[in-house]
Structure 1
């Protein structure tokens, strides 16, 4: 029995036991009896009263499905607040709504969030950008969007440890909702949140009633095969009203849809992911609550979702084909352990958040087209294929102490200190070349000491202190101000060896950053249903050493890159119209991005540096309407004009050039209708339309003066969904990409100069059918 089958059998057995362990479905899981659409997150027991940094379970609702967003509770400002009373642009997506749509990855729901865009070549390896603040796909650059799991920062703040491409697609099965904050969040969330924040909010253990959820899924994709998975969740008290537990597990196998005619393989781009979460919630007295949590997730993808294209973007080997000289494996393992304690002092709440996380990755990159001919000439053996093999071992420890006043009153305040320490080890080297025709080893092509090998030993430490104060001047006007000071150091040691390095070398580097970030947000409540606000906020990414060998430094690569920073100017309007069952959220922004950290290439290797300045300006909106009972309509969209305003010769960018991978226009239209077939049986139907505008590809360093970056054409997607529910049991089905759109989500040259064909184009998943059988109890 394979490891995959063992995992699947274990989860199926757990699901069967859980399903048989209850006598009758909970009436709370059924549709509302008045015929209105059930709120996606309203099932499950209520949680004990939340601290200022948490929310009650069941209060968050998907803004695309809820008719009354005034009831949505988010934690965008580190305390519970109504979405319509939060003076910052934030979108909330519930896990139930995502599961209903079969949206398991960020790429599946990015278009439902105004201003959010992604670029990815491989499942589980995604770069996230908000409001155009990004410079494309690259492993050697920090992220512009921070990721949090509850109140714990996830991932790395450095370029060394896959800070950008290591974005986590956390499975919805362990979540309550996802919050996406647009614009810099530098005062409360610190480094690498200059574009915004993706915050995964997990399910909190209940202290009163036992509940559970068992789900079995099946999928099939055009031009591919079948897949599926299971999800299991059990929740309830171990000691009633004192100690609760949540245990969840999942396994999913997504079928591939690309073939490799050279290797005579079909469906080479499968994706397998499994993991789970366990959390204990302890409330020994009313004033104290403690939550201990462990999250794990493993994923494996043997190949990219890229097809080979000509310079005119015509498929070379077929519309759904790629040619590689071996598997481009991407294995990614995440472990996150956290302890969150809150104590109510009466006049305020003291919070301690401790975490320890590990991330391990393995990445095999086919470099034959880029370096094969050069290596053949170097070693004197023709027709060679070759792979670059990279691994990562990353460990991160964080500690935060926070003290916050109660909600309400003339003056609200929040202050805290934050510490993080990261250590990473990242070996990288060219493997043994082999014959590109027979795929057999060629020992004569591998010199003594190898071709190229280095190991980056990196240490990053950050200390920060912050404070936010909200002053209410009367019943309608308030001012929020915030400040944060961050001190960070990064040290690296990079021993290198191999014939291409000229033998053994050892490069050390150090970077020190001291950064202040600020926030000022005045807001005015026109009445209880209408609010306007203005927002000035700043964000940053720390600098760091480039960890490059002496040969690359001699070729012109920088020894270190500097911090970049961003200033955000914004106005917004939020409103609900109770009689019309309608909500509106509109914001307009202008961003000034300075000393941009850009990914360039020296000798074909990715290098981080600073160059240029950019502005991003635009408008975002979100609208919901329930014209009749059970019918929910929504729309959102974004116009983003993100451009360089100063030349960046390092990467061949000129003033006026559009920033990479972000469409000027994007949007989503959605409709859902929940209705009753009988007193005992309910149903729903729905669908949405997504539009992604055209996007230029990444900048290319060393490109000739007349080079024009290729543009990925616009594309659109139609998705449909339907289901039937009786009691806690439901059968749900969906079709994604109904029209089989052939959209590009990443485009890159495969050759060393970075501008010539063949190109590799990652494509959206073709038409996919899915069905889920769900039992809630």
Structure 2
């Protein structure tokens, strides 16, 4: 369903706006000024909810005469295209494709029902909060989305951490679903989870999913698109987005039609247990053109494949994920929409998924089970108002609850007959609000201003002792209140050159307390901080298909209280900050065939890096480790030599180092940052053929390489991982709304080490590794109604 590693550097203009009213043949007042054609079409999409796509990279350089009067959506689009040399071809009831008008009146043997080019890439950057066209967006971004009529990738896993396997700029730890941390473009602090704020923020629509800790790894069934906006994004998204953001955009309720879909899959893993997935969606108009409800439910079982010889158990690392989403859309008219949404998901793992290097492949020996439970829930309300002038108001409020429980085997090697357990309970509750006002005009100028507020309470409780009667040990509670005002503006100095500037002023207050502490032990309370995060950027169109961009951005993370090394101690960790400069080039494909590509260099300076670590006994603590530098190069490309045949690839080169380590700690000068390989890349090829009106077939192949990285820094944590290659293949058939897909992953059945960590109480032995899932075959059936 999701097509991993799709480069966001192609030349498609795909406007998929949230409709403010039901679309149809009704006429309405349309006021769109003359100006660049891409901006005019974006405005029409916002007013009508129509989807408009093209593969022509010269669209931003064409000039539209505008539209003034009372039109239907189709007649308004025709008016915008007058004299531009382009025409609109209808795809379905709510979608059009724009293509060059033929010079001669020669009919093309191509039915209008043909779906959009399967290699086309979205160009509206929704995460920019002003729906900026890609060729005008001054920064690095990757966009992944399923496309109408395209089944490529539909049999693959649907979660963020599966996507990270095929997108080199996105890295992830591998403790397990719901326990992993995400990193973007090498901005990685540590492999361990603790009270420090995440370096990458994940959003579902307008709602931020977490403040710190692991990513909940939401299921991505019935998702419209995903945008990975590389950071820092402090100006638009505030503290905690120093690495960037991952924005998940779900499909909105449709006001004018009933729809449904179901998916079922079964998988078999060599030397492991079977798995399955079930998912369904229903879209229900409750009041015609006014109110609609969209409901999604799912359950995924990942069969275990690791054996525990110490307890004589097989396939111990079974993982279950189940949950659902509900969205209610109310469109009272006059440009207003109200979206009310809810999400609930639970992750359950019977045991952890690491093995021991000193034992046969896919085996380990432990004294007790190490289960994980994670519960995530979210409620949000988003109110929008769009005026005919292009002015848009968005007000979003969300409440998030994320609870997780971990257990690790803390049994000592010196006393193996006395089992010991370490339990960690993280209780995070967060309320967020943002109200912003923006406007985009036809000449390419735009502006945005807004206010934001975050109220986050995070409580970490810990226990240690015999599994049946553990004792409380020191934990911490951090209460953070962030209030901010932010803004950005883009000025089109010429049709080719645009500059952007802005920033965010944030006031943070943190109050911290230990949850349990020995009498007489001192601690340090939190503090108030006032920070400004500026940004500046520019884009320049060298030619109709080539654009340069440059960007400078900054961000920070707030401090707080954390467990300190030793027994019963806590200590403050201070805020850190980062500055990143980047420059890049985009090449857009000139039509349905050809090459599209993007490449960018980046340089980051990260000061007072916060990190969650463990001591030699395995107990966690958090501190600042010093300053770092990160140099990166990324490139993505797609080549379509003929219709239906696509080759693609992506690479990320990274060199990171601690520049001024705090000498009292274990890091040393020159240590690499955690979990980011120096080289990470992939390649893919696919071919799709057949008549869309009858049936279609496809085949695909993928190959990837993950370079060597390290769990952390210093003599204890510089444990190597990675340095492996994998290959996969797939095939499928589609007839109408019915699809059958067969996927084969890890064809070589490699047991390579993805992550040299599973239990912090054994990390000092340097004997742990997390293997790739063995060769797995998966059969998927999907049906739409």
**CA distance change for structure 1 residues 708 and 453 in 2, over 3 Å: closer, same or farther?**
closer
In structure 2, the residue matched to 1:727 is 736
1:326 aligns with 2:371: no
- The correspondence for 2:495, drawn from 475, 491, 513, is 475
Deviation at 1:61, TM superposition (A): 11
> CA deviation digits over 1:242-265, x for unaligned, max 9?
112211100111101001112111
Give the match's secondary structure for 1:84: helix
Give the match's secondary structure for 1:126: coil
> CA deviation digits over 1:188-210, x for unaligned, max 9?
01111111111111111111222
- The correspondence for 2:159, drawn from 105, 128, 141, is 105
More deviation, 488-497/735-744: 488-497
1:531 aligns with 2:547: yes
Which aligned pairs between 1:285-324 and structure 2 lie closer than 5 A?
Answer: 285-309=333-357, 316-324=358-366
**CA distance change for structure 1 residues 661 and 570 in 2, over 3 Å: closer, same or farther?**
same
Is the CA contact (8 Å cut-off) linking 2:625 and 2:667 kept in structure 1?
A: no
In the alignment of these two chains, the number of paired residues is 686
In structure 2, the residue matched to 1:584 is 597
In structure 1, the residue matched to 2:75 is none
> CA deviation digits over 1:633-681, x for unaligned, max 9?
2111111111112233244222222212111111111112111179622
Q: Distance in 2 between matches of 1:297 and 1:103?
A: 16
In structure 2, the residue matched to 1:429 is 463
**CA distance change for structure 1 residues 209 and 756 in 2, over 3 Å: closer, same or farther?**
same
In structure 1, the residue matched to 2:322 is 274
In structure 2, the residue matched to 1:611 is 625
**CA distance change for structure 1 residues 213 and 191 in 2, over 3 Å: closer, same or farther?**
same
**CA distance change for structure 1 residues 465 and 55 in 2, over 3 Å: closer, same or farther?**
farther
1:414 aligns with 2:448: yes
In structure 2, the residue matched to 1:151 is 206
In structure 2, the residue matched to 1:567 is 579
**CA distance change for structure 1 residues 635 and 534 in 2, over 3 Å: closer, same or farther?**
same
Is the CA contact (8 Å cut-off) linking 1:570 and 1:590 kept in structure 2?
A: yes
1:597 aligns with 2:610: yes
More deviation, 457-466/650-659: 650-659
Deviation at 1:120, TM superposition (A): 1.5
In structure 2, the residue matched to 1:355 is 398
- The correspondence for 2:652, drawn from 638, 643, 655, is 638
More deviation, 104-113/632-641: 104-113
In structure 2, the residue matched to 1:493 is 513
Give the match's secondary structure for 2:437: strand
Q: Distance in 2 between matches of 1:45 and 1:753?
A: 50
In structure 1, the residue matched to 2:38 is none
- The correspondence for 1:709, drawn from 711, 718, 741, is 718
1:517 aligns with 2:533: yes
TM-score (norm 2): 0.82
In structure 1, the residue matched to 2:97 is none
Deviation at 1:103, TM superposition (A): 2.3
1:94 aligns with 2:108: no
- The correspondence for 1:249, drawn from 297, 301, 317, is 297
Q: Distance in 2 between matches of 1:383 and 1:354?
A: 52
- The correspondence for 1:337, drawn from 379, 383, 398, is 379
In structure 1, the residue matched to 2:183 is 129
Q: Distance in 2 between matches of 1:457 and 1:45?
A: 39
Q: Distance in 2 between matches of 1:577 and 1:752?
A: 52
Q: Distance in 2 between matches of 1:570 and 1:599?
A: 28
Q: Distance in 2 between matches of 1:152 and 1:708?
A: 35
Q: Distance in 1 between matches of 2:171 and 2:316?
A: 26
Q: Distance in 2 between matches of 1:66 and 1:691?
A: 29
Q: Distance in 2 between matches of 1:474 and 1:120?
A: 47
**CA distance change for structure 1 residues 76 and 645 in 2, over 3 Å: closer, same or farther?**
same
In structure 2, the residue matched to 1:769 is 777
Deviation at 1:506, TM superposition (A): 8.0
1:198 aligns with 2:225: no
> CA deviation digits over 1:584-637, x for unaligned, max 9?
111111111111112344564222111221111121111112111111221111
Is the CA contact (8 Å cut-off) linking 2:354 and 2:769 kept in structure 1?
A: yes
**CA distance change for structure 1 residues 322 and 112 in 2, over 3 Å: closer, same or farther?**
same
Q: Which sections of structure 2, spanning at least 5 residues, go unmatched? A: 1-11, 24-41, 56-115
Give the match's secondary structure for 2:162: helix
**CA distance change for structure 1 residues 650 and 138 in 2, over 3 Å: closer, same or farther?**
farther
Is the CA contact (8 Å cut-off) linking 1:593 and 1:615 kept in structure 2?
A: yes
Q: Distance in 2 between matches of 1:168 and 1:741?
A: 27
More deviation, 593-602/504-513: 504-513
> CA deviation digits over 1:225-279, x for unaligned, max 9?
1110211011242222211221110011110100111211111001100111110
Deviation at 1:461, TM superposition (A): 0.9
> CA deviation digits over 1:466-485, x for unaligned, max 9?
00011111211111101101
Deviation at 1:98, TM superposition (A): 8.0
TM-score (norm 1): 0.83
Instruction: Kindly report the root-mean-square deviation, in angstroms, between the aligned alpha carbons of the 2 structures.
Output: 3.0
**CA distance change for structure 1 residues 251 and 748 in 2, over 3 Å: closer, same or farther?**
closer
- The correspondence for 2:223, drawn from 156, 169, 175, is 175
Give the match's secondary structure for 1:694: strand
In structure 2, the residue matched to 1:189 is 237
**CA distance change for structure 1 residues 480 and 138 in 2, over 3 Å: closer, same or farther?**
same
**CA distance change for structure 1 residues 549 and 711 in 2, over 3 Å: closer, same or farther?**
closer
Q: Distance in 1 between matches of 2:120 and 2:548?
A: 16
Deviation at 1:95, TM superposition (A): 4.9
Is the CA contact (8 Å cut-off) linking 1:304 and 1:762 kept in structure 2?
A: no
Is the CA contact (8 Å cut-off) linking 1:60 and 1:94 kept in structure 2?
A: no
Q: Distance in 1 between matches of 2:198 and 2:18?
A: 37
Q: Distance in 2 between matches of 1:44 and 1:78?
A: 12
